[in-house]
Amino acid sequence: MKTLILLAKGFETMEFSPFIDIMGWAQNDYGYDTHVVTCGFQKQVVSAFNIPVIVDTLIDNINSADYDALAIPGGFEEYGFYEEAYNENFLEVIKHFDLGKKPIASVCVGSLPVGKSGVLQNRKATTYHLNGGYRQEQLKAFGVNLVNEPIVVDENIITSYCPETAPQVAFKLLELLTSKQQAEIVKSAMGFSRV
């Protein structure tokens, strides 16, 4: 199974790396079919705090039929996150994954482009909840039924409310792609759950 990680410039590395590590542990240590493909508008995507990441493919080359799930880390407005996250091509990728009822996992403000795409209309979701909840108000403006909880799952879409939730979101995605039992094995091996 292939997960596409959609990176807008200014993405937050802490929200990106759990998908790489958790799917990597699952594949490397347990032989799970959890291949990850990174994608951006340019071959080099510069994250928040100016960390360059070379992606596997460009957004113009994406065919959602080739992937089983989508992951979207959030990012910083100051580093241009919304310039690409709100780009119509970015939103179209999200719509295609939702049309196929494929899992879409977003962390923190990664849910805002999901909301802007229209796929969260009248559905439950969350986003960054601190600083007076202004990002949650933005999400509500897209017709979302806001739930102020760390992680919210509505059918195929996972949203969360801050960077701290990134590993839990990645484990939830792993669970949807494999099984609860298989995800727990990886979680335990990585020290996230005590046996």
pLDDT digits (tens, 9 = 90+) for 57-109: 999 999 999 999 999 999 999 999 999 999 999 999 999 999 999 999 999 99
Question: Per-residue confidence of the chain (195 residues) as pLDDT tens digits?
Answer: 999 999 999 999 999 999 999 999 999 999 999 999 999 999 999 999 999 999 999 999 999 999 999 999 999 999 999 999 999 999 999 999 999 999 999 999 999 999 999 999 999 999 999 999 999 999 999 999 999 999 999 999 999 999 999 999 999 999 999 999 999 999 999 999 765
pTM, two decimals, is 0.96
Q: Residue 194 has what pLDDT?
A: 61
Q: What is the pLDDT of residue 123?
A: 98
Distance separating alpha carbons of residues 172 and 142, to the nearest angstrom: 24
Give yes or no for a contact between 159 and 146, defined as CB atoms under 8 angstroms apart. Answer: no
- DSSP state, residue 46: E
Residues 6 or more apart whose Cβ sits within 8 Å of residue 86: 112, 113, 116
